[in-house]
Chain A
Amino acid sequence: MHELAVVQSMLDVVLEHARQGKAQRVESIVLKIGELRDLVDEYIQSYFDYLSKDTLAAGANLKIERLPVVFLCKDCDNRFPVRLQEVVRIACPHCGGEKVNLVSGREFYIDHLEVI
């Protein structure tokens, strides 16, 4: 539901970098978003299409790379992805340990732009 605020903020960053880079048009925007972020990809694109009208980034294609939620097992140092909606306990698939640390899945940044 907060996609609109997120997209407005993203557009501001994109336009700033596009202008600095003397771009004539932004063709695509590559976003890296961790699975922990509750955003609906389809909403992001349609809000973006709406907000970016009459800007350098109008019509740009959003390429959203979703990064998995990954935990690190404190017992055996194994790194493993987890789909949190599908499990009831978070345990290492290698040793069964439940002492684990979240190491990624919260990413939320603009990686790069493809421009002309």
Chain B
Amino acid sequence: MAEMRLIDVKKEILSDNQARAAENRELLRRNRVFMVNLMASPGAGKTSLILHTIRELQEAFRIGVIEGDIASAVDAEKVAAAGVPAVQLRTGGFCHLDATMISMALQEMELAKLDLVIVENVGNLVCPAEFDLGENKKAMILSIPEGDDKPLKYPLMFSVTDALVINKMDYLGGEADFDMTAFMARIQSLNQTVRTFKVSCKTGEGLESWTHWLRDEIASCRGAVPETIQ
């Protein structure tokens, strides 16, 4: 009888996705494009934030959008109406985007003519957290009505994001029962390096802090000029 033996693997389960994400990252680097992966629950304000960001940064940067949200054909139209190229991914009920889908979308874009690509991920706080797309930064939105307990319910997402936009600040003090101190303590426990931005896409409050951060990130990305490119 054949003997049982062990084969040591010690390899990430999603290593195939990570390899493709690394290819995307290299493609973006060669083209000096900054890509942000925007994740949130449905209704948190992804499209509003994207449209605001386009308005604020459109003069300074050339922007493209990859629309991955399941029900966002409308969103792609809104974005296109704002005057930027948008690629709509047909995710067909998929719960997240992966690096292969992003690779296909990037092939449809003229990267040499872009500075910033915004990816609108599928609306949920679970699955998108697992998949590296090759982005420069991950950003997420948590809106006040969703509640201050969300970092405990969806800890992975809060622990992996680089930027956290707290949207619908105008709900604070109203009907929303949101303990900001407890919320921030939970965030700090899960993620020591995250940048947080308190905003309201409705009133415009705080949005300049978000666009300022993006400007700096894009500038430092474009400053890192790959000297090998002719």
Contact = CB atoms under 8 A, between A and B. Distances in A.
A112 B11 CA distance: 9
Contact of B190 (A9, A21, A102): A102
Contact of A101 (B6, B15, B192): B192
A95 interface: no
A13 interface: yes
A37 B189 contact: no
Interface string B76-90: 000000000000000
Contacts of A58: none
B16 A13 contact: yes
Contacts of A2: 95-96, 126-127, 130-131
Contact of B13 (A9, A18, A24, A100): A9
B224 interface: no
B130 A9 contact: no
Residue of A5, A109, A115 ringed by the most chain B CB atoms within 10 A:
A5
Interface residues of A, number: 44
Interface in B65-83: none
B10 A9 contact: no
A90 B188 CA distance: 10
B130 to A, nearest CB: 6
A14 B15 CA distance: 11
Given A23-B7, A98-B185, A102-B191, A6 B14 contact: yes
B9 A113 contact: yes
Nearest to B160: A106
A106 B9 contact: no
Most buried by B among A18, A31, A36: A36
B189 A114 contact: no
Nearest to A24: B2
A49 interface: no
Range for the number of chain B residues in contact with chain A: 35 or more
A10 B15 CA distance: 8
A84 B154 CA distance: 9
A37 B149 contact: no
B137 interface: no
Contact of B127 (A1, A17, A20): A1
Contacts of A98: 185, 189
B11 A13 contact: yes
Contact of A84 (B2, B7, B98, B152): B152
B51 interface: no
B159 interface: yes
24 contacts: A1-B126, A2-B95, A2-B96, A2-B126, A9-B13, A9-B15, A13-B15, A13-B16, A21-B7, A23-B7, A37-B130, A71-B189, A84-B152, A89-B182, A89-B186, A102-B190, A106-B156, A109-B10, A109-B12, A110-B12, A112-B6, A112-B8, A113-B7, A116-B4
Given A2-B126, A2-B127, A101-B189, 7 more contacts: A5-B96, A69-B155, A88-B149, A102-B159, A105-B155, A110-B10, A116-B3
